[in-house]
Amino acid sequence: AEGKAAEKMPNKNDRPQRSPSPPKKGTKGGPKGKGKGVGAAPAPKAGGKGNQPGSKGNQPRKAEVFPKVPLKRLFWTPLSLAATSASCIWEKIDRQLENTSFDENELEALFSEAGITSERRSVCEKPKVAKRRLFEEQRRRQIWFMLALMPEQAVLLRAIETTDETVLPPEKVELLLANLPSAEEEATLRAATADPSSQATDAWDEPEGFMINLLAVPSYQLRIRVWGFLNSMEHTVVRMTEATDDCRKAVSCLSGSARIEKLLALILRVGNYLNSGTPRGRADGFDLDTLSKLIQLKASQEQTLLDFVITQLDRDCPQMIREMYEPCCEFEAVRSAQRHNMSDLKEELCTLIAQATGYLQQL
């Protein structure tokens, strides 16, 4: 009886075992352990703390450097190539590091924890060489602006010497032509470079240095002026040819127009009627300046003599005025020719001929 009672009494060290609870919805496998407990920790992500140089199992690939002075730090997040893809950009850059260099002394002088001392400042600051200048500031800015739009000086000077149109198109030749040195500037430059100590090109500032190099090109003034003259000739010939053609068409249209003849005949007859009994009457014709006076002579009923002539012409020939305004007829021909001043064209042509003759004599 005592033995059966002892079997029924629970032991303090015996605890009832619970059945494992089923995993919660959305979780996989058994419960995760913390720290070094049951279950493996997830693999560290690339670029995380587990990939920092010096961490266990991921040794840095770069050699350690030892600056001569304490430097300011650049706080970034370092990456380890051991945990990245072999085709990433850093892998390609790693192969090019051998060809990359910088001035370590200047870096230490600029970014030292102690700041820049006078000794380190001498390392950073390179001595500035004073450049010689001759031109006034406004003239210098003009040359600076021109050079900014041109190729480098060596290519520019070679193109001027060979008149290379592929390097200097017409608009750049025109810009160069507008900035040629004057006779006074050329004399000043030649006098300044006569001193042997001033013949070094690097001793001059860029505007003066370019002009000095330009003087060394044989007959540079004549080359550039003839080049610009030839570039402008095509446009000039087209413009003058167009003006001449317009005037010729107008002359041909007016001289062979029966409508113009009828209009002039009516004006002549009306004028002779108004001038009857005076020395101006009984005229066989009139100068063309008279046409502008038709609008100046006014009637008593606020009507001009031109209005009267047009009214009479339209009454006798109703369609004639309208036909004169049709395309390719009298009005269009006169309007096209009116855009050109033949006196100005003649004067321009004489100037071009004189220019070309002068260039030929110099060549």
11-33 confidence digits (pLDDT tens): 544 554 554 555 554 444 444 44
Are 338 and 243 within 8 A, CB to CB? Answer: no
Hey, what are 131's tokens?
């450049």
Taking Cα atoms as reference points, which of 109, 120, 228 lies closest to residue 165?
Answer: 228
Most confident segment among 98-102, 168-172, 273-277, 322-326:
168-172
What was the pLDDT predicted at 26? Answer: 47
**pLDDT band with cut points at 50, 70 and 90 for residue 57:** low
Are 226 and 359 within 8 A, CB to CB? Answer: yes
Decide which of 24 and 334 is more confident.
334
CA distances from 211 to 64, 70, 142, 185 (A): 52, 50, 12, 9
pLDDT, one tens digit per residue, over 245-296 is 999 999 999 888 899 888 889 899 899 888 888 888 888 888 888 888 888 8
pLDDT, one tens digit per residue, over 88-106 is 767 777 766 666 777 778 7
Q: Which residues pair with 112 in a beta bridge?
A: 71
What was the pLDDT predicted at 44? Answer: 46
Distance CA 294, CA 300 (A): 15
Decide which of 223 and 288 is more confident.
223
Q: Please state which of the ranges 44-58, 111-125, 146-160, 216-230 shows the lowest mean pLDDT.
A: 44-58
pLDDT exceeds 80 at position 199: no
What was the pLDDT predicted at 16? Answer: 47
Inter-residue long-range contacts of 135-144, CB under 8 Å, 24+ positions, other chains counted = 135/185, 135/207, 135/208, 139/185, 139/207, 140/205, 140/207, 142/179, 143/179, 143/206, 143/207, 143/210, 143/211, 144/206, 144/207
Q: What is the mean pLDDT of residues 164-184?
A: 93
Q: Please state which of the ranges 61-75, 110-124, 324-338 shows the lowest mean pLDDT.
A: 110-124
What was the pLDDT predicted at 121? Answer: 55
Burial class (CB in 10 A: 0-12, 13-18, 19+), 214: buried
pLDDT, one tens digit per residue, over 67-96 is 877 877 777 777 777 655 566 767 777 766
Are 147 and 105 within 8 A, CB to CB? Answer: no
pLDDT exceeds 50 at position 306: yes
Distance CA 116, CA 111 (A): 8
pLDDT exceeds 90 at position 60: no
What percentage of the chain carries pLDDT values higher than 90? 34
Distance CA 323, CA 259 (A): 9
Taking all residues of the chain, what is their mean pLDDT, rounded to a whole number?
Answer: 79
CA distances from 344 to 16, 212, 312, 350, 354 (A): 122, 39, 38, 10, 16
**pLDDT band with cut points at 50, 70 and 90 for residue 1:** very low
pLDDT exceeds 90 at position 211: yes
What was the pLDDT predicted at 27? Answer: 46
SS (H, E, C) the chain: CHHHHHHHCCCCCCCCCCCCCCCCCCCCCCCCCCCCCCCCCCCCCCCCHHHCCCCCCCCCCCCCCCCCCCECCCCCCCCCHHHCCCCCHHHHHHCCHHHCCCCHHHHHHHCECCCCCHHHHHHHCCCCCCCECCCCHHHHHHHHHHHHCCCCHHHHHHHHHHCCCCCCCHHHHHHHHHCCCCHHHHHHHHHHHCCHHHCCHHHECHHHHHHHHHHCCCCHHHHHHHHHHHHHHHHHHHHHHHHHHHHHHHHHHHHCCHHHHHHHHHHHHHHHHHCCCCCCCCCCCCCHHHHHHCCCCECCCCCEHHHHHHHHHHHHCCCHHHHHCCCCCHHHHHHHHHCCCHHHHHHHHHHHHHHHHHHHHHC
Largest CA distance in the chain: 177
Q: What is the mean pLDDT of residues 151-179?
A: 93
Indicate the pTM of the whole model. Answer: 0.53
Are 166 and 158 within 8 A, CB to CB? Answer: no
What was the pLDDT predicted at 183? Answer: 92
Burial class (CB in 10 A: 0-12, 13-18, 19+), 151: middle
What was the pLDDT predicted at 180? Answer: 93
pLDDT exceeds 60 at position 176: yes
What was the pLDDT predicted at 204? Answer: 84
Q: What is the mean pLDDT of residues 41-50?
A: 46
